[in-house]
Amino acid sequence: MNILITGAHGQLGKELVKQLCPSHSVIGLGKKELDVTNKNRVDHIISHYKPQIIIHAAAFTAVDQCEIEQKKAMEVNALGTQYIAQAANKIQARMFYISSDYVFDGKKNQPYTEEDVPNPQSIYGLSKWMGEQLTRLCHQTTIIRTSWLYGHGGNNFVKTMLNLSKKGKEIRVVNDQLGSPTYVNDLTEMILTLMHKKNGIYHISNSGSCTWHEFAEVIFEETGVNRDLVLPISTVEYKALAPRPKFSVLSHQALLREEIALPRPWKEALKEFIRKEICQ
């Protein structure tokens, strides 16, 4: 199968290329090779390669920076998605769009289903929600919402905590936001599975949930560092620029309907990630 991946130099893009290459013809394009905000370039590249599947992983994901660079956030996450969707539709390709738990407002107290109506509270969340709407310009679209993503090929919360744990100093981590960590390797495996399933909206995250503080505690514990060095603080105390959903745990109803085995528990996935990071 001929597959084109945007954002191929990001942590998800790198893992997609790695897992797909053995059995498929893969075109992995980073920002330098494909600026998704350049409509003419998008049209040219996609019409040239004529992929059967496009996995649109390119995004502006710096949540706080999106509040500052609002125009860029909308151009990359919304308008860029529109260009990809339109070009995909012209060649009748199937499009996979990677979205986020930030499309929800976080006011619910039970896992968000694929049928729940998004209500983004940040510019990042709004731009990803607009991207979801614009993917519908492609008649064959699968939307994947994921959360708290971490992998080996980029900067993320787990790597930050691993680096801080080496210093043996106290750190303060938010304890009133609840979500589900997601290991990029597991997300990639699920995307590969969905290539053989029907289009729709799917929520993919590792099973279970935690706060950022609990997440950090387990990271410290897994590396043999005293978890008491991780101190809880509130979202208000943290003073982030962009609002975050207080609750963004994702339900996996669509996966269950398709009889797909759910991703493993987040602690199990985290252990594998840390083991691989230490062995590198």
Cα separation, 95 vs 54, in Å, equals 5
CB 3 within 8 A of CB 27: yes
For residue 35, how many other CB atoms are within 10 A of its CB?
A: 19
Cα separation, 274 vs 242, in Å, equals 29
Strand ranges, E, within 147-254: 149-150, 171-174, 178-179, 182-183, 200-203, 210-211, 230-233
* 155: CB partners within 8 A, 6+ apart: none
Question: C-alpha angle 151/100/238, rounded to 5°?
Answer: 80
* 176: CB partners within 8 A, 6+ apart: 211, 234, 235, 246
Cα separation, 197 vs 154, in Å, equals 29
Does the annotation mark 124 as catalytic? yes
**Smallest Cα–Cα separation from 46: which of 101, 105, 5, 99?**
5
Burial call 45-79: b when 16+ CB within 10 Å, e when fewer: bbeebebbbbbbbbbbbebebbbeeeebbbbbbbb
Which of 83, 97, 102, 124 is flagged as catalytic?
124
Question: C-alpha angle 225/226/228, rounded to 5°?
Answer: 145
Q: Kindly list the catalytic residues.
A: 124
